Structure 1
Amino acid sequence: MNTYTLKIIVYLLLFQVGFLHAQDVTTVNAVDSEISKNLDLEVVAALFGDCENLEEFEEKLNDPHKKITNLDLNKDGEVDYLRVIDTSKKNTHVITIQAVLGENKFQDVATIDVVKDNKGETSVQVVGDVYIYGTNYIIEPVYVHQPVIYVWFWGPYYNPWYSPYYWHHYPPYYKPWRPRPVHYYHKDVRIHVNKKTTYRYTSVRRSNKAINMQKKVHKNDYAKQYPNQSFNKRHKEVVNASHLNTSNNKAKVQQQPTTKDKKEGKVTTGQKVQKDWKPASNNKIKNNSVKVPTQKNQPKNKVVDTKNKPSTKPVTRPQNNTSYQQKKPSNNTNYNRPTTRPKPASPRPTPSRSMPSRRR
């Protein structure tokens, strides 16, 4: 084999390796900079009510087919795995949802408080993390039917669930996916919300015991690394994500004119109008006043004669029939003849029938 052929083979091999390497490059899709929009807590609350235990709840949170979450906090181009940790004390359970970001690095995303009161009634509150969702971002789901997971919490088969998974050690069903644009994420994830379930937003966390219990497992490694990206630093004009969504909806409503405004001519272009602006007009108007000429010779107390007043009724004129096929006039049609017929002329004298006398 000559040297020239060997060089060609080497170039082809290098080109093939470079092509395969280009295919392995991870493409990161554009994700909304607002972190709170990448995990809908209403969907999390609906998913919690459809599970039988916390192991199933963690599995559905990370199901690659459902794609409940769209969070990519460590920005590695893949959605973060969410692990679930349960802490309990008598009639109170605190379920903490944490994002796995690296080796021994975790970040709290949300907690679910499950509290049973003295009457035996169970209440649920989904609390968003302060760093991601702002202060007192709390959702209270109102389920139509009592979830099965309540029976598991207060039944004899309850065992505290502490997720055994960590960085690069995930369950076999889990396959990471790339984050999607926010509008696609919300469009696809809302199908998992139970339409019969209602959601109430509140700013009061019912259980003080749950707050102390959460501190035992609280992790905020991402917040420590990026302290300037907290919700309060990102949005100084609103308190939490619920107010952020409300303000965005109001702005959209103000920008879109209603049909009533369009009819009344109240649609604006959004540009500033000068205070001394006046509409252009051909009328000779000065200082918003118009001079009306008066009749000097007209008496002040003029009496109008209503008897001899001409009628104001419109005069109807016969329409000329211009069609080519004219109807035959009736016998009563007036052809501008006089109303009285003229007397017939006297008849001519008829010659007498007597024979003329012969001449002798």
Structure 2
Amino acid sequence: MNIKRTLFGVICLVFITRTKAQETTTTTVSAANTDISYNLNLEAVASVFGESKDLEDFEKQLNDPDAKISNLDLNEDGEVDYLRVVETSKNTTHVVTLQAVLAENEFQDVATIDVEKTGEDTQVIITGDAYIYGPNYFITPYFGVAPPIFGWFWGPFYSPWMSPWYWGFYPPYFRPWRPFPPHVYHNHVHGHINTKNRYNHDHVKRNHEAKRLQKSVSHKDLQKKFPEKSFKNRNTNLTNKHDFNNRSNINRTNTRNFNKTSTRPFTSPSRTSSFGRTSTGRMSGFRGFRR
């Protein structure tokens, strides 16, 4: 009888331990960065931009149902939003605006790409819209190979691009898909980031011409409807999405240092621990807008 009781107790303990482990794992996944700003990786956008032959091709690649670069469902209809590309320019400054198509005659700016030529050099600055990414969220890509789209901007075949597509009228290749779970999108989209490029996340200053050009085509219909759901209101203790990335890096560094000191407290300096190796990716996820 005692043996049976002991065996029963061991089985119960194992069951409880596994249940708690599963609960802990679930909590960890759901507690990861889940802000909506993680649903469009702007480094992937920069990579696609650098590999496009012109803006029509760029828009096609952004909305390719096989590539699935975007995971944004801002209108919460259960399908990833179509991203239209709108361009405006003056002299040597081009501003490319990405807008999510939300409903009939309703659009929301998602990001802008400033392309400016100075002499023989061309600089690209990608700015996440403040409503989604927080203010001053910039990425400056440095391409390993000169993008073919530069030759189109400054070549003889350039013509301004204004997306002809709108709500209910999309190109034949576009087949809406359901958004990925956060960790699935994170793993998927990092395969589309060109590792031959560098992505500088330092603060930059956009020129006044670019700001004026963007304002002339800007649409912020979602922001007007739900101003309380801005990044600032969603994350009162953060400035912009950079803070998410910095927090993830700090957490990984602290975990690495803790593992090195607590797991092998008396390890000889000549021995190398395999604990705490950091991932090159960033935590991903989303928190949808709730109406």
8 Å CA contact 1:84–1:95 kept in 2: the answer is yes
In structure 2, C-alpha distance between the alignment counterparts of 1:250 and 1:144, rounded to whole Å: 28
2:171 matches 1:158: no
Residue correspondence of structure 1 range 112-191 to structure 2 within 5 A: 112-117=113-118, 119-191=119-191
In structure 1, C-alpha distance between the alignment counterparts of 2:248 and 2:121, rounded to whole Å: 36
Corresponding residue of 2:79:
78
In structure 2, C-alpha distance between the alignment counterparts of 1:255 and 1:153, rounded to whole Å: 46
In structure 2, C-alpha distance between the alignment counterparts of 1:202 and 1:161, rounded to whole Å: 29
Deviations 1:291-349 (A, max 9, x none): xxxxxxxxxxxxxxxxxxxxxxxxxxxxxxxxxxxxxxxxxxxxxxxxxxxxxxxxxxx
Structure 1 stretches of 4+ moved >6 Å: none
Residue-pair matches, total: 235
Corresponding residue of 2:272:
none
Q: CA deviation at 1:263?
A: 2.9
Classify the secondary structure of the residue corresponding to 1:216. Answer: helix
Report percent identity of matched pairs: 49
In structure 2, C-alpha distance between the alignment counterparts of 1:252 and 1:230, rounded to whole Å: 28
Residue correspondence of structure 1 range 26-65 to structure 2 within 5 A: 33-65=34-66
In structure 1, C-alpha distance between the alignment counterparts of 2:121 and 2:34, rounded to whole Å: 40
Classify the secondary structure of the residue corresponding to 2:217. Answer: coil
8 Å CA contact 1:115–1:207 kept in 2: the answer is no
In structure 2, C-alpha distance between the alignment counterparts of 1:229 and 1:195, rounded to whole Å: 33
Amino acid at match of 2:109: D
8 Å CA contact 2:141–2:200 kept in 1: the answer is yes
Amino acid at match of 1:194: N
Unaligned runs of 5+ in 2: 1-29, 267-291
Q: CA deviation at 1:246?
A: 1.1
Classify the secondary structure of the residue corresponding to 1:125. Answer: strand
Amino acid at match of 1:196: K
8 Å CA contact 1:78–1:177 kept in 2: the answer is yes
Unaligned runs of 5+ in 1: 1-29, 266-360
Q: CA deviation at 1:264?
A: 2.9
Corresponding residue of 2:262:
261
Name the larger-Rg structure: 1
In structure 1, C-alpha distance between the alignment counterparts of 2:57 and 2:259, rounded to whole Å: 47
Residue correspondence of structure 1 range 203-242 to structure 2 within 5 A: 203-242=203-242
In structure 2, C-alpha distance between the alignment counterparts of 1:231 and 1:130, rounded to whole Å: 7
Amino acid at match of 1:132: I
In structure 1, C-alpha distance between the alignment counterparts of 2:39 and 2:80, rounded to whole Å: 10
Classify the secondary structure of the residue corresponding to 1:175. Answer: coil
Q: CA deviation at 1:95?
A: 0.2
Q: CA deviation at 1:248?
A: 2.8
In structure 1, C-alpha distance between the alignment counterparts of 2:34 and 2:81, rounded to whole Å: 16
In structure 2, C-alpha distance between the alignment counterparts of 1:44 and 1:115, rounded to whole Å: 18
TM-score (structure 1 length as normaliser): 0.63
Classify the secondary structure of the residue corresponding to 1:146. Answer: coil
In structure 2, C-alpha distance between the alignment counterparts of 1:69 and 1:152, rounded to whole Å: 24
8 Å CA contact 1:71–1:79 kept in 2: the answer is yes
Deviations 1:219-257 (A, max 9, x none): 111011111111111112221101112113323443562
8 Å CA contact 2:34–2:182 kept in 1: the answer is no
Corresponding residue of 1:196:
196
Amino acid at match of 1:44: V
Residue correspondence of structure 1 range 262-341 to structure 2 within 5 A: 262-264=263-265
Corresponding residue of 1:90:
91
In structure 2, C-alpha distance between the alignment counterparts of 1:253 and 1:125, rounded to whole Å: 29
In structure 2, C-alpha distance between the alignment counterparts of 1:263 and 1:151, rounded to whole Å: 55
TM-score (structure 2 length as normaliser): 0.77
Higher relative contact order, chain-length normalized (CA < 8 Å, sep 6+)? 2
